[in-house]
Each structure stands twice: as structure tokens, then as C-alpha cells.
Structure 1
């Protein structure tokens, strides 16, 4: 299922007493916001399939664009695209190494179109030239270098028809007219082999596709319990083996190989605590060579001895968590990303034959030497015994020896991940580093409903929005107080999407638990949220209903209303800051408008910042920096940490303060200057 869903002034009399006391400031240098949230110098380096070129994303006139260079001479790098406003955030090589392909939307509307740019000529084409359409990549194969499979919903916004796209001519050939299927699985010949339908119970049925026709009888079926932990991964190159992530008959998702001819299955890997995560497969055969398990942090296990020496060598040479991001057709060159956590990520080129690693670039070289703090994985027990895998970052003055244990209590920010069917993980985190540098402990909690820890943990969140999911967050704060990380009433709650919803829940359902809250694109009314989800989420609608509350039944409507913060706005007594994108298709602007209107009707202070050119989160760095500049002052007024002044951060942004500029220190002055 697609992810759903990343100050007061003293006269207001809603500022907690603890926040009026100046906090002990760290002596570590202040890290500028722009160094943490501005454009990286380079990102997402990938070697071409033929090994002749390297590509990456880097700024061009202040906007992230695609660049390419000969592998042996990076000084000859040239920009290939010329996006003026919306950054390019991801891309991939065409199988023939002749072009780079990427998707982008307009203003955050998530109508992603597919584009291709020729690396030799720089000619760019729109490969899905439609309006109000969302293109999806359904299949890319090294065996078929001249075409790919794409899904396009221009005929019916609910369903993606399957097309074969000729990369040379741009011609689209219809393969399957889709009236009801939520997804497709193709083999390495780019032949669709499986189609999926969501069942009324929120599970899925898989149907074979033979000679282009979808059979009527499902070959694989499972219910709601397995729906977020079971899925077909793909076929080996010869089409004889189909890999699955599969939790049927077990708790955590195992890696399973199925013989297509006989239907027999074999477990390749499983772990008692976490689902199998990333998989490393042979680019020639498609056979799994290694797999990752991410419980507290990611660990790799080798299946194929052919890569054992490579992974051992890389772990010896490179310090940090290692991820293979690209491999050539000859499999002689790999691009490898390394996350050292307390430094910016770096990208290397690994030559398997020569056994050498060449550093290509560091994503944020301006952070070299900055006082970045370690992240510590912790296991927190919820009140009913569930283990909540969490991540703690402490400010320098509260963890002098960097052992991850608090030397003294400091104000804390509970940073809640979105989804909620997603997870927090170990690694470099710009928000953790920013907040820790400002003097706050930062705690991120994988509350029940988070993914990656088995189906029982995920399903424990069913119908528990503002219920046990929120209890987990409260329990985590209690753990932090007991561990000496912070003290009672010195914690702010902050997050985006579901994390924004959790913020609103925190200030309405448990109004005394937090000192203040920062809600970014969070829903306030679950009933209206489900009425306005994008049409292309039709295939996942039953899962939302079964996991949140069914708006087609009286009991479901009652539950959704009961768990909607907008109806409890009058309970808010602590400062609240809201950030919203006007074009958000997942959590419409109306979700923020509703809670703001409810608060203003009760004369409850709230600061509301709207970005007219953003969607579900802030993709443009100037907007992200602007909102974080406001949030920094807001948190300082609430918790007493330190801050970098807003200064001119709002000027290049599109930020519109719709309410409460006077309630965040320095905001009114910054608006006047803008």
C-alpha cells in the first residue's frame, strides 16, 4: 500500500513554565541551516550499464539537475537538464546507456511525468506527454535495452494501463487496458506475468497473465494481515524463479524463491526480529547474492560466495553503512554509497578486478568538520510489552563522550515519522543533526504500525490512530525522562504527514504531555482525509479502511471522527506551528485549514505557514529552509534552545503566513523584510 501517507510569547499564558528558563547552551559551533537543508553539492551517483559514464544530481543555477561525465574524467562533467524550479530527485539509466530517465511533477501535485534526456546530444523529451497523469515505471530490463514498461493513468485516473515504451522513438504501445488491477509484475523479457487485485478484506489476489490475457482464478491469495509484508519481488533473468517477500505462515517477511514451473517454494533467508529488506542480485542472472536485515541497523548476509570478497573488502576500506547503488552489465564496476552517520554520505566507484575504491564525491562537503553527533539505537518497551526500536541523538553538551547516554537532561524533540506504514532507521539524519546542534535531544520512535518489524507489529496499529499508536509515543517520552535524557514537560512533538497528525493528537488528546508541537502536512480530520485521497490510490483504499476506520459504515465514521484532532481543537493549550503545501494531493490544504479555523474560532493561538508551490512536504530547498527557520525560532520560544536568526531565509521562498505571525519570535519582522 502506498505510503500515506517526512512560539508563543509570554503574554499568551500558554507557554509552559519550564520554557521560560534559559537552557544551558552548547559550546559547539552553530551549523548553518543552509548547510543541512540546502542543495547537496552532488547526490545519487550511478555508473552507466556499459561502464563508460557516471551520472549524478547536482545544482544548476540553484536547482538540482542531472549531470553526466566520462568515467575517467569527471572534470568534463556537463549538465543534461535545465529544470528552473522543481528539483529532480531521482533518475535511472536507460538499459542501453544512451539516456537518463527521470520523473518530475509540477508544484508538488504528484502528477509525475516521465522524461528522457540523451547523454550525447542533451535532447530532452517528455515520454508520457499527458496532462493530469501520473506515470509509473513497471519494468526495466538489461535484456531489453531499447524499451521499458510504464503505467499511465491518463484514460482513467484510478488505474494504470500498461504500455511498452520505445526509448528511441518515444512510441507507446498498449499492452494491457486496466480496469481493476492495482499492480503488475513483469519478467526480464518485459512480458507482464502477474496482475494483482486488492480484496474486499484488504488483502491481495495474484493472477497469472498468459499470452497477454489475465486469468480469472488467482494463483496466490492472502488477507489483510500479510498485505504489508508479502509481495512479489521479481523474476530471475531466465524467468524460471520468482522471488517473494513472504510473511504467510510466519511473523516477519522471509525472502522466498518459487520455482515457476512446479510452484514449489524455498526460503532463502528469514530473521526472527525484522523483515528481509534490501536485496543484492546478480545483474546477469537475477539470482540473489546478498540480503539486508534492518533491525537496529542494517546488516548484510552473503548468499553467493562470488560477492563475499567484494563486500568484505568494501567493509574494510569504507567506514560506515554500505549500499551498492549501481552495477555495470559486465559487473566489473560498482557505485557504492557510504553513510558514516556523523559525516555527510559519500559515493565511491569500486573496481572489482583491480580491488580499488575511488571516492567520487561527498554529498555535503560543507559539513566536513562540523560537530555532528552520533545516533544511538535503543529498544523501548511499550506499556503492553511491545518493543519499540527507536533512535536517539543527543546534543554535544549532553553527551560529552558520545556514548549515546545522557550526561544530563535537556529539552527534547520527539520526531515522529510519516506513513504511518514506514519506519525510522539508523543513519545520517539532517533533522536529528540540526535539532541536536540547537541543544535538543532528538528521539525517533518506530511506534506500532511501523513497517520492517514483522506483520504482528504492523497490524498492532490497526484502528489505533490516536489510540495505542499514540500511547507508544507517550511511553517513549516516559522512557526518555526515566533515562535522564529530558525532564517532564520539556518535550516538543514534531513530524510530517502521519507525524504531523501525531503532533495534533499530542496537543489535543494529551494536552499536558508536550510543551509545543510542529505539524507538517498532517491530517486533522480523518473522515475528510479519506474522502480526498488521490484517485490512483483506489487499489489501496480497502487497506486504509481496515487499518484506519471504514467511512462506509456508521461505526467506522464514528471511529474516524473520534480519532480526528479537529474536533478537539478547544483542548489545545500549547503553542502550535503548522506547515502545509497548497498542492498536496495526499493531505489536502483543507486538513490544515480546518484545524487553524477551529483554533481561531476559539481564539487559540496558532502559527500557519503555507507554500503555494509545494505538495506533500517541501521539495524546494528555499522553502524547506524557510520553514525550518520559522520552526527554529518557534522551538526556541517553547523549549529555550538556541537558534540561527531567521534573517533573510523567507525572501527566496514562497512562504505565506496565513495566521499567527506574532506568535513566533522574529517572524513578523522577517515577513516585513520580505
Structure 2
């Protein structure tokens, strides 16, 4: 590292992973009220104020343990609703706060239940459709919720469908079910009767790149993001009376992503394409003018997070990339942009680093869209390559049917601040880049998907970015699996690994998927390996790091949530046990009150404290001392405290 890097301010962990000052700002449907999430007694709760007093506010919820992370205004604007689980179990229930009385009630007071929003309406403001799986955990029955009274009325008892879609009249119009090939069948619904035959169907190859995107308010148009007969998903409008489809937009390199739609009519006004960076294209001239005006006022990326019913006021978020994100109130008629809040003002003036999009070529010729962040002070000419090679962390995304994107990333910033290059790679199997790229990952866990990560690492070494003997691999969920695969299948490639809630045994992973994923299990089998066949089971076992745990020769840190419904604690327990049996050292951190990732800031901060000190000892970067960071958390150091700098002392304290 250069002197500049060594002398740069150490960004405190709390500033990156602690509670934001404010987050998730929204505006009421009538435009008179503002809402946001902010801590009360250290826990994120919902706050409100009148629109003319954005710097004031009162808290309206009373969460004292787990942060509230998802909320929304009821369509009638008279209440605010939020979803919350317990200890990370992902059984999300629905809660409601009456804004006149501030009375809070549990809308779905059930045990072991996960609710879904099936439909909301532009014209029916006092009702929403909910999916509730309290009768059968595999299937969500559809209920009509009367927002005023809280009454739930059964609309459709579901005994076989994975999801539903309704129109603006809150009438069920479509049911979806996985077919024998691992694709999806789409059925019309009339008078709450599902048709016998599907009106649309996809093969497995299109199952993750084709989906309906909603009806217009009058129900005459059904939008699709559709990859059938093509590679990338394009935007189509289907006439619901005739079935005829019209192509609206397409892109050769990436699937069409989001849309902006007229809140009154539901007609698409703009669409986005996210290849290396997200780009919006307006169809509607007036909306295009608004986006262009905002683009001239804001640096970096921006988007709309909330709109009034009349669409004249927007809440706009702005990610300047090398400064903390900010949120504004945009009055379209007055053309004013009023500051609402900065999420993490403590990051102002900190040495935040730019992210560099990169295209990396795999050994068999695929282009891997990737993102590189460099240590502060390491790139004097700003060309995205350090003046000399530095230690690197390969940060692998979860899913694997997900993707890395361009923008502010707290983990990238912390690691770059500590002296590491950080590389995130969209390996084959990642979503957003067309079905050919996605399906190239089928049956390739631990094989070509892993090869892509090795190829990207070799690229970084050959380009003078990374020191060959100082590359760590780190990630959560599938990224945790990739970490375990990296240390077992290619034991000499990485200097160490950090596995966060990663599966070690693909056979047991598939045996313990949440019950509400059961209607989709064929997709897992066709993309990973079918444990019910001899060939599929052999493939799953060969790709499971557990069976090669005795090959691990480099330091490994594992973190797990005890209540994880997706990757059960047994996935971490198994490989830790195998390593202990083989006499191989490992550090294992368990959070008894967390699930698939760590929601509580005290737990998140404690984990990254352990991780950065682990990496510091392994590949030589800087680290903020542990201090008393474990005390507010629930972290249990199950194994290997002695392998992390300062951890035994922190526990002793």
C-alpha cells in the first residue's frame, strides 16, 4: 500500500454497517405526509411528519428488538403497514398502524405463516389481496383484507399454485404453477375458477427470464418480460382480449429490468436495462423530461422510491457513489428538489472509492460483467488499475440466481478502506444478462461456475490488480458456498475464506428448503441436480464441499444464523464438524437470533469486526480493533477464537 492508503482515515464499521440516520423515505398517497425508517433506542422504526416539516417527525411503531425493514402506505393513506419476522425465520406477518389513533394491530395473527401481497388497486383504496399460508405452509390461500376493519375474507383456497396475479378490480386473473419440465404454466382465472389448460407456458430455459409484469388499470393489457424465442428478456404488451403481443423494448446485452408506470392507468412510461450500469429509457415524453431534469441536478445514480397518487410529487433517491446516498422531495410542477435526508451523514468526507465496471472473459469465451473497487490511494492516475498489485478480496454474490450491480456497496467500501482491491463477478448462472448466460450455470455448481471465479481471479493477477498469494474469497449464501468450494476444490488458490450462511452439502440443502418453496422444487433439481436420480445425486455430492473438507489448508471463517430457513444451521455445523475431525482449524461464529444474513446492526457490526481482523491477519490489510464490539451482539464464538487477531481478548473482556 502507498503512504496515502496507510494514512487514509479508517472508516468506522459503525458508519457502514450501523443504523442509517434515516432510510426508506416515502410520501403519502395524497402528498401531505412523509415517512421513513430511523432508529428509536437503537432499533429501526417507522416515523412520520407533515410534508412541510421534513426535519421533524414522530415515531409510530414500537419495535424494541428486530429492525423494521419493509413498510408501505395503505392505498387509502389512513394507515401504514409493515411486515416483520421473528429472529430471521422469514415468517413475515403483516402489521398496521392507524395514523389517527396510532393504534397498532397484527393483521395476520398466525404462527409459522408467511404473507404475500397478491394485489392492490388504484381505484379500490380500502382493500388489498393477501396470500396467507397458515392452512398449508406450501401454498398461499388468497384473502381479501378490509384495511378499515381488518377483516380477512377467503377468496381462493389454493391447493397447487405457486402464485397469483390480480387486476385493478382486485379480481384474480391469473394463476402460476411449475410444470414437469421445470418451467412455468400460466392459467386464466374467471369467477375464481382456474382454467384447465394454461394460456401461456415456459420451458425450464425461460423460467427465470420470463414472467408477467402486471395489468393496466383497465385490464386490457398484460405486460410481459419475455425471453421465449430470444436470448434477453424483452418487454411486451399483450392484448388480453385477443392474446396478441406487441414488442415495446429490447436490448441485446441485458434483460429488461424495471418499469415506471403511470399510477392512474398502469401504462408503462419508461423501462430500465442494467448491463454494467442501470439505464432508464422513457417512452412517455413528460416523464422523460422529468428524468432528464433530475439527471442534470444529481450526480451518480438516482431513482423514484415513492410517488403521490396524482404523480406530481416524487421521493427520489440519489447514489453519488463516492458520497453517502441522499433522498429528495421532487415537486414536478414547481421543478424543485428539496433535501429530505442523507442516510449516513457520518460518511461525508470519508475516502469512499469509485467502483469500476469491468468485462472479464472466461476460459470458454463468456463475458463476465464485473465490478472492481481499489484501495484508497492505490490508483494515482485513476485508470482503475492500481499502481502496484495489492491484496484482493473476491466477493461473491448469493443466489446464485441473482447478480452484482453498480453502485455504493458497504462491503466494497470497508474492504477497500482496509487496503484491499475488491472484485465482484457476475459468473454464469447470474441473472440479468439473458437466458443463455443464466442457463450456462445449470448443473455447474462447483464446476464451470467456480471456473469463472478462478478466471476472474487470474485476470486480476495478470492485470496487476491482485497479489497472487494474497487473494481471499468471501460471500454469503451461494457466495458462502463458493467460498467453501474455493477452499476445497482449489485449496491453493485463495489465501483464506469467509463463508456467510453458505451451504456445504447440496443434498441436505435441497432436503430442507422452506415449505413455501416446494412448488418450485423442480427448478432446483433441473438447475443443480436431482437427488431422486442416481446421476443427479452423484452430481450434488461431487459439488458439495463437505466431502472434501479434509482438503482445506487455508484459514476459514464461517458465520451462521441459527434460525436460517434457507441454509439451515446444519450446513455450517456439518463442515465445522468435518474440519474438527480432520484436525483442521476453523473459526465459527453463530448468531442465535438471526436467519439468512444478519439484520441487527449490532450483529452485523460484530461480524464484520471479526471478518476484517481475520482478513488482516491473513492477507495483511488494516483493521479497526475489535474492542468491545461483541458485547452488544449475540455472537457466539463456537470454534477457533484463537485464529482471529484480538478475538480471545475481546471475549475475555
Q: SS of the residue aligned with 2:638?
A: strand
1:249 aligns with 2:229: yes
Distance 1:105 1:402 in 2: 44
Residue 286 of structure 1, aligned match among 236, 244, 266: 266
Shift in Å, 1:398: 1.3
Provide the residue aligned with 1:617 in structure 2: 597
Provide the residue aligned with 2:428 in structure 1: 448
1:307 aligns with 2:248: no
1:159-558 to structure 2, matched below 5 A, reads 159-558=139-538
Shift in Å, 1:57: 0.5
Q: Does the Cα contact within 8 Å between 2:2 and 2:377 map onto a contact in 1?
A: no
Shift in Å, 1:500: 0.2
Shift in Å, 1:144: 1.1
Distance 1:663 1:325 in 2: 44
Unaligned segments of structure 2, at least 5 residues: none
Shift in Å, 1:557: 0.8
Shift in Å, 1:27: 1.9
Give CA-to-partner distance per residue, 1:177-233, whole Å, 9 cap, x none.
000000101111111100011011110000000011111011001110000000011
Give CA-to-partner distance per residue, 1:401-433, whole Å, 9 cap, x none.
433222110000000000000000000000000
Q: Does the Cα contact within 8 Å between 2:182 and 2:203 map onto a contact in 1?
A: yes
Shift in Å, 1:239: 0.5
Distance 2:316 2:543 in 1: 44
TM-score (norm 1): 0.96
Provide the residue aligned with 1:589 in structure 2: 569
Distance 2:646 2:236 in 1: 56
Provide the residue aligned with 1:10 in structure 2: none
Give CA-to-partner distance per residue, 1:93-118, whole Å, 9 cap, x none.
11111111111100000000011111
Question: Which of 1 and 2 has higher RCO (CA within 8 Å, sep 6+)?
Answer: 1
Q: Does the Cα contact within 8 Å between 2:2 and 2:378 map onto a contact in 1?
A: no
Distance 1:340 1:273 in 2: 25
Provide the residue aligned with 2:581 in structure 1: 601
Residue 562 of structure 1, aligned match among 542, 545, 548: 542
TM-score (norm 2): 0.99
Distance 1:341 1:398 in 2: 18
Distance 2:156 2:539 in 1: 39
Give CA-to-partner distance per residue, 1:332-354, whole Å, 9 cap, x none.
10111111111111111110110
Shift in Å, 1:558: 0.8
Q: Does the Cα contact within 8 Å between 1:289 and 1:307 map onto a contact in 2?
A: yes
Provide the residue aligned with 1:54 in structure 2: 34
Q: Does the Cα contact within 8 Å between 2:10 and 2:624 map onto a contact in 1?
A: yes
Q: Does the Cα contact within 8 Å between 1:493 and 1:516 map onto a contact in 2?
A: yes
Moved over 3 A (4+): 21-25
Distance 1:93 1:258 in 2: 30
Distance 1:666 1:76 in 2: 42
Q: Does the Cα contact within 8 Å between 1:25 and 1:642 map onto a contact in 2?
A: no
Give CA-to-partner distance per residue, 1:68-105, whole Å, 9 cap, x none.
11001124411010101110111111111111111110
Q: Does the Cα contact within 8 Å between 2:168 and 2:219 map onto a contact in 1?
A: yes
Distance 2:253 2:368 in 1: 12
Moved more, 26-35 or 503-512: 26-35
Give CA-to-partner distance per residue, 1:8-61, whole Å, 9 cap, x none.
xxxxxxxxxxxxx99995221100000000000000111111101011111011
Distance 2:81 2:258 in 1: 23
Q: SS of the residue aligned with 2:263?
A: coil
Shift in Å, 1:322: 1.3
Seen in structure 2, the aligned counterparts of structure 1 residues 401 and 47 have a Cα distance that, compared at 3 Å, is: farther
Shift in Å, 1:253: 0.4
1:101 aligns with 2:81: yes
Q: SS of the residue aligned with 1:396?
A: coil
1:120 aligns with 2:91: no
Shift in Å, 1:308: 1.5
Give CA-to-partner distance per residue, 1:470-498, whole Å, 9 cap, x none.
00000000110111101212100000000
Q: SS of the residue aligned with 1:26?
A: helix
Q: Does the Cα contact within 8 Å between 2:368 and 2:425 map onto a contact in 1?
A: yes
CA RMSD of aligned residues (A): 1.1
1:671 aligns with 2:647: no
Distance 1:280 1:214 in 2: 30
Give CA-to-partner distance per residue, 1:370-393, whole Å, 9 cap, x none.
000000000000000000000000
